[in-house]
Amino acid sequence: MTVVGVLGLILHCASMFFRPVVAAIPGSGSVISQINSMGTASMIWYTVPALLVLVGLRRQQWIALILLAGSLLAVGVTMYNGTVLSTHLDTIFAAGVMIAATVFLLSAPPWQREPTPATAVAR
């Protein structure tokens, strides 16, 4: 779910900022139009992938999910309330960092890992 959500967020951003690149995908014209309309369809095209990312990472540390949800919410708010573009791009960067940081938490640090049966026997 996380990968599909991230790809959906990339599609949304690319449709807004790199329209010719997305237009090279056959049948993407209506999607680009819906996203760039900045209406309800555009909000859905953003919200669904953002929720998929959160659901896909639901087993992570709760504080990481709260920070990630906050950063994704900030992206949505700055996108649809007419905020200055540079602020919106800053929130996109922050959300990208939060996604990467949360995915990094998928792997426990070496000092917190439980020994596997094979390594326990070797000791």
3 state SS for the chain = CHHHHHHHHHHHHHHHHCHHHHHCCCCCHHHHHHHHCCCHHHHHHHHHHHHHHHHHCCCCCHHHHHHHHHHHHHHHHHHHCCCCHHHHHHHHHHHHHHHHHHHHCCCCCHHHCCCCHHHHHHC
- Domain edges within the chain: 2-109
| pLDDT, tens digit (0-9, with 9 covering 90-100), for 13-57 | 999 999 999 999 998 899 999 999 999 999 999 999 999 999 998
Please list, residue by residue across 38-60, b when 16 or more beta carbons sit within 10 angstroms of its beta carbon and e when fewer do.
eeeebeebbeebbebbbebbeeb
| pLDDT, tens digit (0-9, with 9 covering 90-100), for 110-120 | 556 566 666 55
- The tokens describing 119, both together, are 């390594």
The whole model's pTM is what? Answer: 0.79
> What confidence category does residue 107 fall into, taking pLDDT thresholds of 50, 70 and 90?
low
